[in-house]
Every structure is written in C-alpha cells, then in structure tokens.
C-alpha cells in the first residue's frame, strides 16, 4: 500500500507537467465540413520537412478541436485538402480560430490556396498578437517612408534609425526570446534595403550573427541566415574554395570545416576545449552553413553528388550538434526524394552493348525508365505492350529498361530482352541506381522530362490503372504539346 502511495506521488508531478504543456486549437471551418484538418510542425527551415502534430475531422456544425503536447513557441501549418495556412503557438495557450476556404482576394487555385487564419479573443500577450501588431507597425513605416528613399535618401535613413530606436524602446521589457528574435531579424531585413550609409556584409555579420545563438525554431531568423549565406561556396576566395572541394573529394566534414573557418563570416571566435565539448562561437553556425552550402550545389555539375550525400550523412550521424544532424538528415531526404518537379539523380549505367550512359545522354526528350525483373511473367507481358507504345512515341520519348541481374534466366528471356528496340541495362540488387530511384518493387516506372526533372515517380505503366488510364495517354499529351511547339 505504501508503495502505491509513493507511486501516486511520483506520477502526480509528471502528469501535472504534461497537463501544463498542452496547447489547444479550436475553431470553425465551414468550407471543410466533413473533411480532415491537420496541424504540422516544421522540423527545420532549410529542408522544410514537416511532421504531423495532430489531426481531426470538421464537424457538421463546422467546428473542430485539437489538443496536443507542445513545449515550445513555434510556427505550425494548418492543412485541409490542398489548402494550407499557418499560425504561431506557445505552450499552455488556447486558440480560437477561423479557417477560410481561401483569402478574400485570392482566386481559386487547383493546386491549393494559401489561406489566412483569423483569431477570436486573442490575448495581447500571445505571440500571434505581438507579431501581428509589430508587422502592422513595420508595414506602416515602410508604406509611408519607403517611397521617399529615392527622393530623399538622407531623410529615409534618419527615419529608419528613429524607427529602430522606437522599436527597441517599445519591446525592451518583453521577455519572449522568440518574439525578440522575430523583431531583431525583421529589422535586419530592413538593413538589406540598399541606401547610402547602409551596413555592408561584414557589418551585418558582426551585428546580427557573429557569436550569437543559432535560433533553429525561429522562421524569420533561419530565413535571414539562408539569405545571408546564399551561394556560400561561390562567395569564397579561390584558395578556400579549393580546400573545401578537396575536403569534399575525401568525404571529410572536418577538412571542409577547417577550410570554411578562414571565411570571415564563418570564423571561430573564443576558446575551445573539445574534451569538455566546448567549442568556439560560430562552430555550430559554420557546420550549419556547410550543410546548407553543400545541399545548395547538389545539382551543380561541378560537385560530386555522391560525396555531398556522404558528407551530409556523416554530419547526420556524428555531429555533436543535434539540430544540425536533423537538418543534414532531412536535406538528404529532400535531395534524394523523387517528387514531381524535383531534379532527378544522375546515374552511370553500362548498357548491354557496353556503352556508358548517364542522365545527360537522354536530354531534349522525355525519358521513360522501366525497372523490371527479367524472370517475371508479368515483365514479358508488359514489355510486349510497351513495344507497341514505343513505336507510336519514340520520336518524343526515350525508353530505357533497367533489369535486376538474375542468375537463372532462360534462353528465351535473354533473347526477348536482347530484341527490345531501346537500350537495356542490368544492375545488381544493391546498385545505387535502385536506391537513388527508390525502387522497392518490380515493375517500377519513372518519367522524367527533357531537362532531367521528375514528371512522375512512380509513373503509369502500359496496363490500365484504377481509372483505366495507361502511360499511352501521358505520351499522347506530350506528343501533342511537342507538335504545337514546333
């Protein structure tokens, strides 16, 4: 009995702790009655990967309600169907919101609309209230004084400095780090306006970045970093850039980090004691920008993609900075995922005739990749159908077949494959091509455009899908478009 009492006392604070970090979002969404509505948090602002926080259905009275565990102030996404909006949330807060079908002056878009979430009874201490109020203040300032910048630059500079001073005084006593970060980097964006006397790049670094904490959960801070370090490798001096490249060829994050330390805006500041896991200021920042910079050049022909993935994978698994590891892992996912509009990963395959082929060999026309099991009866059936389709569209679409190597292939199977009128390739089960193109089952079909971007992955095959459509319909549309463009 005594043991049970002690357990009860031990659990009580824990349960109270959970109760105190519940965030509640209730509201109305009359345009979404009977539909699912979801909340997502943003895992990081470089990859923009999202994870589901909560989901519910909109009732017949158009109401919905969420309650979920939340320990931090953050921006979240509200989604229903193809539409999405956002709001900020903080621990223990309760929100009453209205979710519209679309914004008042926004035309309907088939791919989905960006919607503005409205609030009821928003407390003046809430993060949304403070951000909305500050945004209104800054927009009013820009609306009134920005047009005078060209006419009277000196007056604009004077008014801008006065505005900064007023903002600093107004929020001096505010204790919210998230909000103060929002204010600071909103002001930083004003410093990006070009005018006589504006801060240069190094001054901005010293004032807004150097030695300061990396605020991963702040969207405006991370957006500022992303803009400030855009084309980071292209900005480097040639000698530093060469050392970065050599480090990349050796798959060595540490060599790249040492090279980047010679760049002023990434230089280490302060003492270091690795045994105590104490590192100079900007070490975390430098690793973060290394991650971003490598992802940025992933599709450039100047940098080897495999090495970039290897370095990011090393950071993902071994970084002492947990958030950097998460970002590296998420960027690997983004860089290698096959979604419509994404750049397809390059490949190096040896054809059955001994020719080396890569993505560049199939430019100018769409590329239809078939990944097949050569011993499957289904493969023979589908290849027979594909040959008819090929004859109709070979002027508009490249065809290639990639077969997984099998020890037991019949003579008939080999002869049938050899007779195909397009290029064929055989790969091992662990070949990087199958991994890069996320091939899990056979057959898998992938359609790329003439510039090497994903159209569909997976794509339709020669047999009708649930809507009785085959790849023939897609090729017919491609052929028509090509004829119109001639």
Residue numbers of the chain with a pLDDT score lower than 70: 1-20, 110-111, 148-153, 194-198, 270-279
Give the model's pLDDT for residue 150: 60
Give the model's pLDDT for residue 480: 94
Count of CB atoms situated within 10 Å of the CB of 363: 13
The span from the CA of 235 to the CA of 263, in Å, is 9
Give the model's pLDDT for residue 16: 47
Give the model's pLDDT for residue 197: 61
Give the model's pLDDT for residue 195: 64
Q: For residue 402, list its beta bridge partners.
A: 371, 425
User: Residue 441 is encoded by which pair of tokens?
Assistant: 């089952």
Q: In Å, how far are 33, 118, 119, 121, 143 from 99, measured between CA atoms?
A: 11, 7, 9, 15, 28
User: Residue 185 is encoded by which pair of tokens?
Assistant: 């980097």
Q: Residue 336: CA atoms inside 13 Å, Cβ hemisphere, count?
A: 22
Give the model's pLDDT for residue 13: 45
Give the model's pLDDT for residue 148: 66
The span from the CA of 327 to the CA of 292, in Å, is 9
The span from the CA of 331 to the CA of 294, in Å, is 10
Q: In Å, how far are 26, 52, 98 from 57, measured between CA atoms?
A: 12, 15, 15
Q: For residue 67, list its beta bridge partners.
A: 24
Tell me whether the omega of the peptide bond preceding residue 49 falls within 30 degrees of 0, making it cis.
Answer: no
Give the model's pLDDT for residue 103: 78
The span from the CA of 295 to the CA of 334, in Å, is 9
What digits encode the pLDDT tens for the residues 344-403?
A: 988 999 999 999 999 999 999 999 999 999 999 999 999 999 999 999 999 999 999 999
Give the model's pLDDT for residue 14: 45
Please state the pTM of the whole predicted model. Answer: 0.77
Give the model's pLDDT for residue 1: 43
Give the model's pLDDT for residue 144: 87
Give the model's pLDDT for residue 445: 97
What digits encode the pLDDT tens for the residues 4-28?
A: 444 444 444 444 444 468 999 999 9
């Amino acid at each position: 009995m005594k043991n049970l009492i002690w357990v009860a006392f031990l659990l009580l604070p824990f349960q109270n702790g959970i109760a105190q970090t519940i965030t509640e979002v209730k509201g109305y969404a009359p345009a979404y009655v009977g539909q699912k509505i979801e909340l997502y948090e943003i895992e990081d602002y470089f990859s923009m990967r999202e994870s589901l926080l909560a989901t519910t259905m909109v009732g017949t009275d158009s109401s919905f309600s969420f309650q979920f565990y939340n320990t931090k102030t953050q921006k979240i996404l509200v989604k229903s169907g193809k539409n999405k909006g956002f709001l900020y949330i903080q621990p223990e807060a309760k929100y009453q919101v209205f979710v519209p079908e679309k914004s008042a002056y926004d035309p309907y878009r088939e791919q989905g609309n960006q919607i503005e979430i409205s609030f009821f009874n928003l407390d003046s201490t809430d993060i949304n209230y403070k951000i909305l109020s500050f945004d209104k203040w800054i927009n009013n300032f820009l609306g009134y004084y920005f047009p005078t910048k060209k006419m009277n630059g000196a007056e604009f500079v004077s008014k801008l400095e006065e505005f900064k001073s007023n903002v600093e005084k107004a929020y001096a006593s505010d204790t919210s780090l998230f909000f103060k970060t929002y204010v600071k980097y909103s002001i930083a964006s004003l410093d990006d306006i070009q005018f006589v006397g504006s801060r240069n790049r190094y001054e901005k670094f010293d004032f807004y970045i150097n030695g300061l904490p990396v605020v991963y959960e702040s969207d405006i801070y991370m957006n500022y970093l992303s803009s400030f370090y855009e084309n980071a490798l292209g900005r480097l001096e040639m000698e530093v850039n060469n050392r970065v490249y050599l480090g990349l060829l050796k798959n060595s994050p540490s060599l790249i980090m040492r090279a980047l330390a010679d760049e002023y805006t990434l230089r280490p500041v302060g003492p270091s004691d690795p045994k105590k896991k104490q590192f100079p200021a900007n070490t975390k920042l430098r690793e973060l920008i290394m991650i971003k910079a490598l992802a940025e050049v992933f599709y450039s022909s100047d940098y080897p993609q495999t090495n970039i993935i290897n370095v990011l994978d090393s950071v993902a698994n071994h970084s002492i900075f947990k958030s950097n590891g998460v970002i590296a892992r998420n960027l690997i996912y983004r860089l290698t995922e096959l979604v419509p509009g994404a750049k397809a990963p390059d490949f190096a395959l040896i054809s059955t005739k001994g020719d080396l082929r890569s993505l560049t060999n199939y430019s100018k026309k769409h590329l239809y990749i078939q990944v097949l099991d050569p011993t499957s009866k289904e493969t023979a059936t589908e290849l027979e159908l594909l040959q008819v389709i090929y004859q109709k569209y070979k002027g508009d679409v490249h065809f290639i077949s990639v077969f997984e190597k099998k020890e037991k292939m019949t003579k008939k199977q080999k002869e049938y494959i050899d007779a195909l009128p397009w290029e064929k390739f055989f790969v091992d089960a662990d070949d990087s091509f199958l991994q890069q193109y996320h091939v899990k089952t056979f057959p898998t079909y992938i359609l790329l455009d003439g510039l090497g971007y994903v159209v569909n992955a997976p794509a339709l095959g020669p047999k009708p899908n649930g809507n009785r459509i085959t790849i023939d319909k897609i090729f017919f549309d491609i052929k028509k478009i090509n004829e119109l463009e001639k």
